[in-house]
Structures are given as C-alpha cells and as structure tokens.
Amino acid sequence: MGWRDKRSNAADHLLDTGRADDVAVVDGAQRYTYRDLRGAVARLIEALGELDLPRGSHVAVLGPNSFFWIAGYLAAMKAGCVAVPVSDRATLEEVRRNLALVGAAAAFVDRRALRRFDAALEGIAPVTDEALTSAGRLDEAWPELPAATECDLDADAALMFTSGTTSQPKAVRVTHRNILANTDSIVGYLGLGAEDRVLVVLPFYYCYGASLLHTHLRVGGRVVLLNSFAFPEVALDLLEREQCTVLAGVPSTFQLLLRAASFTARELPSLRVVQQAGGKLAPVLVEELLEARNTARLFLMYGQTEATARLSYLPPELLRSKPDSIGRGIAGVELHVLDEAGDPVRPGEQGEIYARGESICPGYYGAPAESAAKFTPSGLRTGDLATIDEDGDVFIVDRRDDFIKTWGFRVSSQEIEDCALRLDRLTSAAAVGVPDLAAGEAVILFVVARPGAEVTPDEVLAVCRAHLAKHMVPAGVFVVDALPLTGNGKVAKARLVTAAAGGTPTA
C-alpha cells in the first residue's frame, strides 16, 4: 500500500524502505546503517517521551548536518510532534527570534551548537547528542522503533523557515502529505533507487537540503554529508571516494565547481544525476556543465519552501534547446503563468507563476495576513515573473523583487548577471539597483574573479556593453573577493544594496 492508503506519518515512510545492514548515512569517518538510524530515532523518541510533551508540540532541530540531526528530525515527526529545523549559521538573536516565533517546547541540539546558542534556548528543553552515546561512544544497544501509527496527513509535520533573501524569514507549515507527495514526485522523475548515494553539501534546514534527505531515505539510498563547501576539490574527492551517484547544488555551488575546481575535467564514473535548483543558473554555465567530461544527466529544477521543495524540472533532453527554462510542473503540481487580471498569458507574454498541487503547503505559522497574500485562490503566488513558449514550458525572467527600475525600464537582474558571466574569468555575479536621482535606480554589478585571475571593472563593462541594451549596462562594477550568501547558499542581495549605496566595494 502507498502512503495515501496507510495514512501513517512521513517519518514512517522515510524509515521503512532501507535494508537493515545497508549504510544510510556517512558522517565524517562514521558510517551508520538503517538499523542504526531506526534505533537512534527510537532512542530519541524515548528522550522526548521523558519530557511529557503534548502531541503536536514544536521541537527544534539545531546543529550542522549530522547523523544526530537526521535522527532528531525523524524522531520529532514520528513522535507526533512538529519538527522545526533551525539554521546553525544564524546569529544568536536570529535563532532566539525563530524559536520564539514558533513557540518551540524542546530542541534536539548537538553539544557544539548548545554551547553557541544556549542563551537562545531559555525555557526550551534541550536533548543533545549525548542521548545516543554511552561512556562517550555510540550506544548500539538500540530500542525497537515503535510501530507505524495512523495520523492526519494534513497535520503539520515540519515548520521550515524561508530563506529571508527579500524579507524576514517566515515559518512554512509543511504537512505529512506535502512531504510524501513531493518526495515521491522527485524520486519518480530522477529515477532514484536503493543504489543511489547523494553527496549533501546543502544544509538540511533548507527545504532543498531536506528534499535530498527525504528522497534518498525513501528509496533506501545513502546520504553522504559534507558541511563545508569552502574547498570544492575536497567535495569532489569525497564524491569519488564514496562513489556518489547524485550531486545537488544551488548556483553558487556550480559556479565554484565549474570555475574554481576541476569538476569539468574529472570523469567521475559513479555520478549519474546532477541536480540544480535554488535560483537560475546562467545559460553559459549550463553549457559548461553539459561539456563536462562526466556523463551525468543534468536536471534544472525550480521550487520554493512554500511548495515543500520542488515545483518543476526541465527534462535533460531539452537542455540544449531550452537551457534557460524551468520546464513544467512535476507530477502532482500544475504551474500557471497569469497576468495582473489572473488570466493565463499567451506565449511570449509576461506574467507571474502560480502553482497548485499536493506539494503546496497550507500557509505560514501564526501569520494569517502573509498567508492570505501568498496562498491565494489562484494558487501559490511564487513572486517569480515568467513567460511560456508554444510547448507550455516556463521561462523565468526574474524575481519580482529583484527587478531594477532604471531609466523608465524594468530590467532583469538575472539578464545582467548572465551577460557578465560570459567573461570566463568570473565565477559569480550579482546585480542590484540603488536609488539614483537621474535613473530612478542605478544598476550596480558585483563580480567575483576565478582564483588567481585578475579582472577589472572596465573589462566587465566592455562585455556588458557588447551584449546589453544601453539602459541595462551597469553604472558601476565592484570586483569583490566573494558575494555574501545566506545560509542556503543564495546571494544576500539586501547586503549588496547596502554596500552599493554606501559606495563600498565589499559586502
């Protein structure tokens, strides 16, 4: 029977496939089997039981990706509570605010994170990774995992915070139905199976990272953890050593792999699937991925936290002809591009993407006005402006909030960034608008050069002048060491706006 028939919660379905002796998690030098994972979940359920929490209590999960993090996340859901992944890359005040926003009653928090965030956990019962150890070592005398129990599939399973790239983060209510529907759709179009091993460089508190965990546990596969991507060659070495079959990343991940690492030159014989989401990857970089020596299939995907994770993907066979498309909705999701009147646009016309389906979440926690504005009668309002072609494939023009209004035109920041990356000595680029008396907003471009390469603002401007309309050419270019990123690996454009407005070349 499928999950719709059993009506048991998401954790049961993520735990019931893997064979007991198969490796589920590679965490540094440690390898944990599905028997270990189920036992660790059972142990942490016992720890929660000692706290005597009411059913439906909110339980935070705080710390870097780890075996303990995974076990805590699953234990919270299976115990009938709501898991609340919280970024360990946030500040103390941000963690305090987020925990207060959701009213967390308890927290699975590893000892390193506890030392850093102890002041934010006042009044919240902590359960640390010591619950899994005995005499300082992993205790493998595991209790039995409780049997699956029925639950309301439309009850909250997790609260996932939005990235906060354009506003304060909000807590998205993700139901058991949302997780299971989105997970099975992704498994289907990627063709995942028990033999798959994913290299995880994205944090699990990010919906994209969580989807990697969900999908690979669902099929009894393996997750290989790497908590730092500062040295991409280390990631590639680990991928080869662990014979990973799946690699997933956001644009900043692939900018480094393509232009600051040896990814395109390595054969990587085990790698069969490359997933890219979390923002548009410049077409020139898509082309570089397609020219890499490895023969992995590349899936360009689109999603939002409010949609659990994925909304659409572009079939790999369309990459050459439509490298800047996000394709169409995944199984169980419908995408519509609507004009201001709420009517479907014709091919070539611009509108906003709306989405419907079982993956769409019911709203934000404790924020009825924000929920009503985002979750509309027409579907999930994504905030992304797009066009469609005659085949019905969708092409994102830009985020509504990222458009730059200059000289009477609405300019796509993505188009400027894509143009700059034609200069192959750059790894990344980000365009923002700052107030300007003459232009309304002046276009300011931040770029990062390849390691060891030198790039001048004039060289970048020359490329832009050669390929962009005059009103789109940046008024200024800053060459910086790195772009500021959110904990999810997305460019923090608000910080760039502040830096540009102040005339400072650093962000």
Instruction: Select the CATH number that applies to the domain covering 403-501 from these four: 3.30.300.30, 3.20.20.140, 3.30.160.250, 1.10.760.10.
Output: 3.30.300.30
Q: Examine the pLDDT at 355 and tell me if it is beyond 70.
A: yes
For the 3-388 domain, the top CATH level (class) is: alpha beta
Tokens representing residue 143 in the block: 């209790």
Q: Does residue 102 contact residue 58 with C-beta atoms inside 8 Å?
A: yes
pLDDT tier, 440 (very low <50, low <70, confident <90, very high otherwise): confident
Extract the tokens encoding 380. 């999930």
Question: What is the pLDDT at residue 463?
Answer: 94
- Rounded to 5 degrees, what are φ and ψ at 475? -80, -20
- Per-residue pLDDT tens over the stretch 232-247: 999 999 999 999 999 9
Percent of the chain past pLDDT 70, that is, above it, reads: 96
Give me the amino acid identity at 225. Answer: L
pTM of the model: 0.89
Res 409: pLDDT: 79
Residue 163: the pLDDT is 74
Please check whether residue 393 is in contact with residue 322, taking contact to mean a CB–CB distance below 8 angstroms: yes
Residue 136 has pLDDT above 80, yes or no: no
Contacts of 151 (CB under 8 A, 6+ apart): 7, 8, 9, 80, 176
Q: Residue 385's beta-bridge partner residues?
A: 352, 398
Q: What is the pLDDT of residue 92?
A: 95
On average, the pLDDT of the chain sits at: 92
What is the structure's pLDDT at 246?
98
320 pLDDT above the threshold of 50: yes
Quickly list DSSP for 445-462: EEEEEPTT----HHHHHH
Residue 491 and residue 479 in contact, taking contact as beta carbons nearer than 8 Å:
no
Residue pLDDT, tens place only, 43-54: 999 999 999 999
Domain with CATH 3.30.300.30 in the chain: 403-501
Q: Please list the residue range(s) of the chain that carry CATH number 3.40.50.12780.
A: 3-388
pLDDT above 80 for 343: yes
The answer to whether 430 and 470 are in contact (CB under 8 A) is: no
389 has pLDDT over 70: yes
How much is the average pLDDT of 274-298? 93
Task: Give me the pLDDT at residue 142, please.
Answer: 92
pLDDT at 319: 94
- Cβ–Cβ < 8 Å for 380, 356: yes
Residue 167: the pLDDT is: 56
Residue 353 backbone dihedrals phi, psi, to 5 degrees: -80, 130
For residue range 458-475, what is the model confidence (pLDDT) as tens digits? 999 999 999 998 989 999
| 3-state DSSP assignment of residue 254 | helix
Give tens-digit pLDDT for 161-204: 997 554 578 999 999 999 999 999 999 999 999 999 999 999 99
